[in-house]
Amino acid sequence: MEKKLASGEWQSRDSGARGRNGKAIREVLLTSLPSDLQWRWKQRQSQMLGLGNQITPDQDEGPAVQIDTLTKALTRFSPELREAYIAEVNRLDELLDRYDSINPKRARDAKGQLSFTTEVQALCREAICTNTHILAREPKRGKEPSPFTLDGWSRRRKSEGMNVFLRAAPTVSARDKRRAFISPDAHVWVEQNWRNHPTVTHLYDKLEKLAKKKRWQIPAIQWFYRRYNLIDPIVRTAVFKGDKAYTGKYKPFVPRTVEDIEALQMLCGDHHVLDVHSWNAETKLLTRLWLTVWWDMRLGLIWGSHIDVTPSSHTIACAYANGVRNFGAQPFSRPGEGFFSYLYTDNGRDYKSRNLGGEIEVHKLAARIDGGLQMLLKAHGVGLANDIDVKQFFARNYNGREKPVERVFRDLADAIQNEFFRRGWCGRSTSDRPDAWRDLYARHQKAVKRGQPSPFPAESDVRAYVSDWIHGYNTHAHTRTTLDGAKVVPLAEFNRLYSTRYQISDEALALMLMKPTQGALSKNGVRCLGSTYAHSAMSQFKGLKGEDGKALQLEVRYLDENYSTVWVVLPDGTFCEATRLDSSSVLTPNKETQRAVAQMIQHERRVIKDFQLITHSRLRGESVEDRVAVAYGVEQDAAEALPVAVNANPEESRASVQRLTRFDGRKLRAVPQPSVSSAEVSKIEADASIFGTPDKGRVSEFDFEE
């Protein structure tokens, strides 16, 4: 009663009198009470006045109040649902009439215990609701009510009428005490700082300290747990795990299609460290090999690959050369037609792996000129992309969908884990390192001390397994999402679409595999790698200046295995093999150096002696077009691809085009000579005027002789 009065549901006033206990007596407004209490109050008043039981529910306004309450309860439903509830209420009311007519309702069973009769049990089964509209709102009505429920309905129906079959309307108080209260200042602080606290405990600890200091009112920690559970997954991932996790899981992306790309037009390249330690018998060390791959985006073909200890520009060039020799080169760019070939790489981010000692080996820019994946030395126009005349296409940072070759590496990582799980698999991170690897490493240390073979797999075995896996990848079907989910066998797709084989000479590939650098041209040759390299072909370019006005810089290619010889790319596009000039002692002269210098001096003297101001080509009457055609030759059209016959070798019927790179020397051709017939010779007449002597004039040597 006190709760009803405090909430305002029952209205009251102070009567001015006090009871026996000294407390004030309050009078309750009769109309604010429920209808059943009003009827009971009237019954009690009638008995006090000596009227006996003259006032009954049938004679009083109780039924009217019940009907009014029932009407209000039904009006909150939609018309369709209201009709369903009226039919259900009438059905249950008729069922209760039958229940009240049963006598007895209980009987003793064989054990002597009272239980409801079978007639009551049948009424319980009949009371199950079958109306779909009501069950959609109140699913519990589809269950069988107990006999006690029927008995309770029967008792309450005498006072409440048919309202007993309906749920009571929800009461709305002035203040909903279910909602936790939080001070406005505390609410502002939570909204400003919750993003910096991934866990509820850390946030609540700081908030609780501030609340005690500033006298804020805050909810319990369970309230914050419920609020954290309501955070959307995309918000939770982006705020607490960062943009990289959000990009990989939820960030929208543009769907790709590669149907408009030709075979080998776009190659995607990257490095991948193998998750297995292998034993190198030569170096006596455990190593993790790196795989460099060029993957064709149209065919899904692993076009070129190379395995090495450390990723570098050399491994990238070796992988590219492997693809050229095994499958053919990329289609040549045709700028006039708007067709270009591309190399698809990332932005040269650092590649990290941990060695056995736990130190981080950083392979920065692992395909640059000095070892990273940029592949272009833009300042000097040197690099693989410039050598093969293709464009470079960069992927965006921190997006796993940008480079599709990452999916190939994931499949390879799964295969290596299954193959070498107990034979050297080191896990995909330091925290993922298995116990089997630690046990194997302990056995390895003991074997090394005793001079016995290492239990880790040999490096040759790992290389052979990766090669077999690449062959199996190219010869099995794969589902390509960029081709509308079609299943494609990469090698079969290559034979179908790569109709013309493009080639690059072995000499040009060899120069591409060399490491490039630059050197200044001096009197004795080009200075690079701490030495001077000389060749007679560089003599005609001495004295030339670069664009910056300094000594001319020449591109130099070399190998780490041999620094005695380098290949120099000359300004006219040709290249020469230059040898190193070692310093010669005064007491013990270096004969090789003296011989090389003498040959260069002899060559330059011959050039000086034979130099002519007017070349023989002009005396022969050749035009500029003739000399250009002789120097460069006329490019021939590619041979038309022939159809592949049944059971024929595609390589034999595929047309072939040779690519002339800047490392290919110019082909010398014979100067075209005009043909002269005997009839033309017989028609020639002698010109006697050339033998005439003109009159000799007088020459005045001095002005005063005029």
pLDDT for 25 equals 79
Phi, psi of 483 (to 5 degrees): -125, 40
Selection from 626, 526, 531 nearest residue 571 by Cα = 526
Residue 75 has pLDDT above 70, yes or no: yes
Q: What CA–CA distance (Å, rounded) separates 540 from 335? A: 34
pLDDT band with cut points at 50, 70 and 90 for residue 70: confident
Q: Are 19 and 35 in contact (CB under 8 A)?
A: no
For helices 62-75 and 35-48, give the axis angle rounded to 10 degrees.
Answer: 170
For the stretch 181-214, pLDDT in tens is 899 999 999 999 999 999 999 999 999 999 999 9
In this structure, of 145-154, 241-250, 606-615, the range with the lowest mean pLDDT score is 606-615
Average pLDDT of the segment spanning 94-102: 91
Q: Are 516 and 564 in contact (CB under 8 A)?
A: no
Retrieve residue 484's tokens. Answer: 């509308």
Please list, in sequence order, all residues whose beta carbon lies within 8 angstroms of the beta carbon of residue 82, skipping any fewer than 6 positions away: 74, 75
pLDDT for 212 equals 94
Instruction: Give the H/E segment covering residue 224.
Output: helix 221-229
Average pLDDT of the segment spanning 213-227: 93
Q: What angle do CA 366, 580, 610 make, to 5 degrees?
A: 120
pLDDT for 365 equals 44
Q: What CA–CA distance (Å, rounded) separates 93 from 97? A: 6
Retrieve residue 455's tokens. Answer: 């239990």
User: Higher-confidence residue: 128 or 381?
Assistant: 128
What residue ranges define each of the domains in the chain, with the CATH number in brackets? 2-68 (no CATH), 78-165 (no CATH), 184-249 (no CATH), 266-498 (3.30.420.10), 520-628 (no CATH)
What's CA 679's distance to the chain center, in Å?
78
pLDDT band with cut points at 50, 70 and 90 for residue 357: very low
Selection from 87, 74, 97, 66 nearest residue 161 by Cα = 66
User: Higher-confidence residue: 652 or 283?
Assistant: 283
Q: What CA–CA distance (Å, rounded) separates 388 from 341? A: 10
For the stretch 416-425, pLDDT in tens is 999 999 889 9
Phi, psi of 19 (to 5 degrees): -85, -170
Q: Are 470 and 244 in contact (CB under 8 A)?
A: no
pLDDT for 377 equals 27
Q: Are 41 and 29 in contact (CB under 8 A)?
A: no
For the stretch 248-305, pLDDT in tens is 889 887 787 888 889 999 998 889 999 999 999 888 899 999 999 999 999 999 999 9
pLDDT for 574 equals 81
pLDDT for 60 equals 45
Please list, in sequence order, all residues whose beta carbon lies within 8 angstroms of the beta carbon of residue 424, skipping any fewer than 6 positions away: 276, 277, 278, 437, 440, 456, 457
Please list, in sequence order, all residues whose beta carbon lies within 8 angstroms of the beta carbon of residue 695, skipping any fewer than 6 positions away: none
Q: What CA–CA distance (Å, rounded) separates 42 from 62? A: 10
Q: What CA–CA distance (Å, rounded) separates 625 from 603? A: 30
Residue 367 has pLDDT above 50, yes or no: no
- Helix ranges, 9-131 (H): 35-48, 62-75, 79-101, 118-126
| Predicted TM-score (pTM) of this structure | 0.56
Average pLDDT across the chain, whole number: 79
Q: What CA–CA distance (Å, rounded) separates 194 from 204? A: 10
- What are residue 363's DSSP bridge partners? 351
Average pLDDT of the segment spanning 317-346: 87
- Three-class SS of 385-423: HHHCCCEEEECCCCCCCCCCHHHHHHHHHHHHHHHCCCC
The overall longest dimension of the chain from CA atoms, in Å, is: 178
Residue 635 has pLDDT above 70, yes or no: no
Percent of the chain whose pLDDT exceeds 90: 32
Residue 474 has pLDDT above 50, yes or no: yes
- What are residue 486's DSSP bridge partners? 480
Average pLDDT of the segment spanning 130-150: 92
Length of the chain (residues): 706
- 3-class secondary-structure state, position 526: strand
Residue 378 has pLDDT above 50, yes or no: no
In this structure, of 145-149, 307-311, 510-514, 655-659, the range with the lowest mean pLDDT score is 655-659
Burial of 390 (0-12, 13-18, 19+ CB in 10 A): buried
pLDDT band with cut points at 50, 70 and 90 for residue 217: very high
Percent helix, strand, coil in the chain, to 5, is 40, 20, 40
- Peptide bond before residue 104 is cis, with ω within 30 degrees of 0: yes
- What are residue 526's DSSP bridge partners? 521, 533
pLDDT for 683 equals 75
For the stretch 509-550, pLDDT in tens is 777 778 888 899 988 899 998 899 999 888 888 888 888 888
pLDDT band with cut points at 50, 70 and 90 for residue 440: very high
pLDDT for 48 equals 58
pLDDT for 56 equals 46
Residue 658 has pLDDT above 70, yes or no: no
Residue 642 has pLDDT above 50, yes or no: no
